[in-house]
Amino acid sequence: MAEPTIDAGTGPVALRRSPLAHLEERIRAAAVTGARGVTLTEWPFLTMVNLRVDPSSEAAARIGKTLGAPLPRQCGRTTASGPHTVAWLGPDEWLVLSQAEAVPVAAELREALGGDPGSVVDVSANRTTLELRGPSARQVLEKGCSLNLHPRAFGPGQAVSTTVGPVAVLLWQVDSVPTYRLFPRSSFADYLARWLIDAMSEYRGPEVP
């Protein structure tokens, strides 16, 4: 999935308010440039659809065809096609992340599921998206994440459920810059954003030879 785009649109959609709108200036001001740079960005209102289905079923195959990529079968893996990225959450559970509109994505997945056992639930309002990017992004996360984030253990295309600080998130490494996207519950987004801003602050100091 490429860099998200945000279209405020009109009507009820234009009235949506991000859970981090009140921290927009602080998030922007926290950016650190240079060799130890790291930036934090919120990408609100991305489509997120929770999917439950037997991975060996015909319904799973139909859903994979609808998404343009098979459902990942391994813990921590993702698959991607066009605007969709699918993250593995459990043996029969995935989170579909998409730049397409939530209603048609969920409708298409429900149609693919058909009458087979499973569920398709639009959970877009349940989480927001924070992107941490830059040479120091891994070091910032390592201050409060117990995962081994070294490139030999965790790399682009991997996404796992973990905690950063005390906040539960889905953590996805997008590329080797490195760029990470964190998906916290909306009610915990303020705490996580403030935690990350504080963790980034030491990199504003002078370069160490």
Q: Tell me: the pLDDT tens digits for 48-99?
A: 999 999 999 999 999 999 999 999 999 999 999 999 999 999 999 999 999 9
CATH classification for the domain delimited by 22-44+128-201, as one of 3.30.1360.120, 3.20.20.140, 3.40.50.1000, 3.30.465.10: 3.30.1360.120
Number of helices (H) and strands (E), helices first, in the chain?
Answer: 5, 10
Residue 209: pLDDT band (50, 70, 90) is very low
pLDDT (0 to 100) of residue 16: 76
Q: Is 197 helix (H, G, I), strand (E, B) or coil?
A: helix
Residues in the chain: 209
pLDDT (0 to 100) of residue 63: 98
pLDDT (0 to 100) of residue 8: 46
pLDDT (0 to 100) of residue 204: 83
pLDDT (0 to 100) of residue 38: 97
| Percent of the chain that is helix, strand, coil (3-state, to 5) | 30, 30, 40
Distances (CA, A) of 154 to 15, 52, 171, 172, 174: 38, 25, 11, 10, 11
173 has pLDDT over 60: yes
Query: Which residue pairs from 117-122 have beta carbons closer than 8 angstroms and sit at least 24 positions apart in sequence?
Result: 117/53, 117/54, 117/57, 117/59, 118/51, 118/52, 118/53, 118/54, 118/57, 118/59, 119/50, 119/51, 119/52, 119/53, 120/49, 120/50, 120/51, 120/52, 121/49, 121/50, 122/47, 122/48, 122/49
The pLDDT > 70 percentage for the chain reads 91
What DSSP assignment string belongs to 41-79?
EE-TT-EEEEEE--TTSHHHHHHHHHHTSPPP-STTBEE
Q: Considering the domain 47-125 in this protein, what is its CATH number?
A: 3.30.70.1520
Residues of the chain with CATH 3.30.70.1520: 47-125
Q: Is 163 helix (H, G, I), strand (E, B) or coil?
A: strand
Residues of the chain with CATH 3.30.1360.120: 22-44+128-201
Whole-angstrom Cα distance, residue 6 to residue 113? 29
Residue whose entry in the numeric block shows the structure tokens 């994440």: 145
Residue 208: pLDDT band (50, 70, 90) is very low
pLDDT (0 to 100) of residue 11: 47
Mean pLDDT over the full length of the chain: 92
- Give the rounded distance of the alpha carbon of 145 from its chain centre: 16
